[in-house]
Amino acid sequence: MKIGFIGLGNVGGKLAGSLLRNGFDLTVLELDETLTAEFVSRGAKAGTTAAQLMADSDVVVTSLPSPAASDAVLNEMLPEMREGKIWLEMSTTDADMIKAQAEKVAATGATVVECPVSGGCHRADTGNISIFAGCDRATFERVLPMLTTLGRRVLHTGEIGTASTLKVMTNYLATANLITCCEALVTMKAAGMDLNTTYEAMKISSGTSFVHETESQLILNGSRDVSFTMDLVKKDIGLFQKIAEDNNIPLEMSPLMVQIFDDGIAKYGERELSPNIIKRLEDATGLDIRAPGFPAELVDDEPEEPGYEVVPQGREAAE
């Protein structure tokens, strides 16, 4: 199977690295020529255009920063799509947009798989990230061997649009976790608690979370470098809020979270690292939320393992 990969950024570069590391025939395309050259030095081929990649590949994977960027690349690829070709979209996008894009692709005879990922850049680097896949079952089974190389846990979510909807939901939950972790750390510092001890108390308690065990470490280190920025958080939680509004759900926390990140972007810029949302509270209180002994970047210490399909609880009994 010949694979084209477009977008070698914070997440895309790590996902493409898993394919290359595991021996897939890989051609890459990236605006940053330095990133392209690094992949070529490791055995990948360099693509010239999105259209060329689609013409020469069985599957083209995209991992791009915005729905607009995704749509622009799709329009370049469409003339080269035909029966048997697969576009595997790994960006976080809008469900309505991916449905409309899938209709365009279906008209060419090609197929779309929407495959957003979750679990952090450090897990994308080791092939241990989780993947949501929205598409028909036959297509899912065709790409499953590739998906279980890209990630450890692969969930077939159903038809096109379902994976994007669930991905936005998970990013909403992660953002809520981030905000509450920030508030907890600042409040404990103000109350005179030792922050190293506070971290452990949170970690071993019912109040722990994936976000605490990862991003709180980067907050306490001071690097705050989770390879994710405030504008991307705002995009994702905005998409979740839109889903709620479209379904007439009167949410209360979600609009407040949007306001918090609007304020953070106004104060620190849209490309500020997302954990630095804590700076709003640091600036307001004059407190420095750092502690010794925490890493500046996250490294996945779990060994790379073969991936597998996750079957939803109760599904087997229902079938």
Amino acid letter for position 4 = G
pLDDT score for 317: 47
> What CATH class has 2-160?
alpha beta
Chain centroid, CA 179 distance in Å: 18
pLDDT digits (tens, 9 = 90+) for 168-178: 999 999 999 99
Q: What is the mean pLDDT of residues 220-247?
A: 95
Q: What is the mean pLDDT of residues 286-302?
A: 94
pLDDT score for 301: 84
pLDDT digits (tens, 9 = 90+) for 131-142: 999 999 999 999
> For residues 91 and 70, is the Cβ–Cβ distance under 8 A?
yes
> What CATH class has 165-285?
mainly alpha
Confidence bin at 121 (pLDDT 50/70/90): confident
Confidence bin at 53 (pLDDT 50/70/90): very high
Amino acid letter for position 171 = N
Domain range summary for the chain, segments of one domain joined by +: 2-160, 165-285
Residue 127 pLDDT greater than 80, yes or no? yes
Q: Is 266 exposed, middle or buried (0-12, 13-18, 19+ CB in 10 A)?
A: exposed
Please tell me the least confidently modeled range out of 59-73, 240-254, 259-273, 286-300.
59-73
The answer for residues whose C-beta is within 8 angstroms of residue 191's C-beta and 6 or more apart is none
pLDDT score for 319: 45
> For residues 208 and 184, is the Cβ–Cβ distance under 8 A?
no
